Amino acid sequence: MKIARIAVLVSGGGTNLQALIDAQNNGIINSGRIELVISNNPDAYALTRAANAGIASVVITRKHCGSQRAFEEAVVQALENSNIDLIVLAGFMSILSEDFTSRYPERILNVHPSLIPSFCGAGYYGLRVHEEALAYGVKVTGATVHFVNEIPDGGKIIFQKAVEIQDGDTPEILQRRVMEQAEWKILPEAVEIVSKQLMS
């Protein structure tokens, strides 16, 4: 059976990367394999997670490349060098241009910590998403896995999972619950389904 070659793009701690590595080890993901981790932050703990799992990694920063275009060209080169089939954005803090996303139609996945179309789009990432959900007073939030296109959080939805907001939630507490109950479950499931489709 042909297995999809996966690259995971990261910027920070890599908790979603770890969820994918664990899912791979537990057989939840068996139609794809993480072959490469790309970080735009040389200090990202995600790079340590990759090293611990024996996964090749590369650091590519916009600052070092000089422009967004040069940065994206360097990322494309790294992806091509590793014959990547599927790209997963896992806490990747950089908006990718239409030039980049149009190269990989329905081959880039992202996980977003809300139920799209709520609390999403440009500027909605990290704790801000949970701050806004709490400020608005919604009773249910969650996470969404979607394909990536040129519109931030605008691609076709693959999976969503709801998470209840509880009395006394802070943005940090809510962020953790959304990760544990939603992101870390639906991201590996989506990666398996899309990997299988790509290889069939």
Would you state the pLDDT for residue 192? 98
Would you state the pLDDT for residue 95? 87
Fold category of 4-199 in CATH: Rossmann fold (3.40.50)
Which DSSP string corresponds to 89-131? ESS--SPPPHHHHTTSTT-EEEEESS-TTSS-STT--THHHHH
Kindly list the domain boundaries of the chain, sorted by start residue: 4-199
Measure the CA–CA gap between 1 and 9, rounded to whole angstroms.
25
Q: With contact defined as beta carbons under 8 Å apart, do 6 and 88 qualify? A: yes
Name the more confident of 95 and 28: 28
Q: Is the pTM of this model over 0.85?
A: yes
Given a cut of 90, whether residue 155 has pLDDT beyond it is yes
Q: Give the phi and the psi of residue 159 in degrees, each rounded to 5.
A: -140, 150
pLDDT, mean of residues 79-103: 95
Tell me which of 77-81, 93-97, 183-187 is least confident: 93-97
The residues that are catalytic are 112
| Residue 191, H or E segment | helix 184-199
Q: Which residues contact 169 (CB under 8 A, 6 or more apart)?
A: 134, 177
Name the more confident of 164 and 93: 164
Q: What is the pLDDT of residues 127-153, one digit of tens each?
A: 999 999 999 999 999 999 999 999 999
pLDDT, mean of residues 96-108: 96
pLDDT, mean of residues 74-100: 95
